[in-house]
Amino acid sequence: MVQLTAGADPVANRETAGRLVRRAAALGAQLVVLPERWNGVHDRAGTLAAAEDRDGPSLRAAAGWARELGLWLVAGSVGERLPDGRPPANTSVAFDPAGEVVAVYRKVHMFDVEVGGRAYRESDEASPGDALTWALLAGVPVGMSVCYDLRFPEVYRALTLAGARVLAVPSAFTAATGPDHWEVLLRARAIENQAFVLAADQVGRHATGARSHGRSMIIDPWGVVLAQAGDGEGVALADLDLRAQDDVRTRLPALRHRRPDVYGRAPSSTAGISPPAGPAATPAAPVPPEG
């Protein structure tokens, strides 16, 4: 997992990302994941202006690193210019060791929230995707996602049921929600799907004033954090033991115990049981938006 602090200068961001990808390769990495928007974090106008075509300089650089180093690379996400004039997609692209594209995923869930006293409206600067994607990377099925998708367990269950054994989560997770939610959600996705989770996060303060949480990590199917980056740029590296994953899925076969025949039916009421006497229920307080 590569962790960095992307600024507004795409050239500098590419230099940083390339240096860290090479560091990961030198440590023995065969599969590298970059964070969300590793090539630049901007305000709305900057995000729209910085969008690139699929063969733009950022993804060309990523393809070059994969080819040069002979590794599999999930190039986090970049703003992808769309041909129909819509706002750019927040797009994650996976490359093989020849630098060829093997999968493209456009972030499905838009980060339209208020957290830490700051409003985020990703839908003003990005167009959502409409399909889930997995890729065969280094011979292993890897489900692709981006950041806010992490809050939607349906995404990862669908990817797992499609055969994914590894779940990639490139992110720029906010510092406001990160301390309470980042590790909890990542470990939950690993445990409930008995899958490895690869989470590469941005870290620190960006030129926009936004702050990312960092703590990029790799989690095994039992929910154990195998490796974690700190509070600055760097890499987190771990081996994925697929035999141990098979053992977890055999000994605790929760995925085989699913009851989709039940889940598709609306829950029934407690027919024939009178509600308890007492004062009328007080309406629940509104749930605050989250990041």
Report pLDDT for 85.
84
Contact 291, 111 (CB under 8 A): yes
Distances in Å between the alpha carbon of 114 and those of 180, 210, 285? 16, 12, 17
Contact 107, 92 (CB under 8 A): yes
- Assess whether pLDDT exceeds 50 at residue 287: no
Report pLDDT for 288.
40
Report pLDDT for 278.
55
Provide the CATH number for the domain formed by 2-262 in this structure: 3.60.110.10
Domains of the chain by residue range: 2-262
DSSP codes, 247-287: HHHHHS-TTTT--HHHHTSPPPP-TT-PPPPSSPPPPPPPP
- Assess whether pLDDT exceeds 90 at residue 281: no
46-84 residues labelled b (16+ CB within 10 A) or e (exposed): ebbebbbeeebebbebbbebbbebebbbbbbbbbbbbee
Q: What is the mean pLDDT of residues 2-14?
A: 95
* pTM confidence score: 0.91
Q: What is the mean pLDDT of residues 151-156?
A: 98
DSSP 94: E
Give catalytic residue positions: 36, 107, 147
What is the tens place of the pLDDT at every residue in 230-249? 999 999 999 999 999 999 99
**Computed from CA positions of residues 172, 139, 162, 194, in that sequence, does the dihedral angle turn out positive or negative?**
negative
Give dist(CA 218, CA 122) in Å, integer. Answer: 26
Contact 133, 102 (CB under 8 A): no
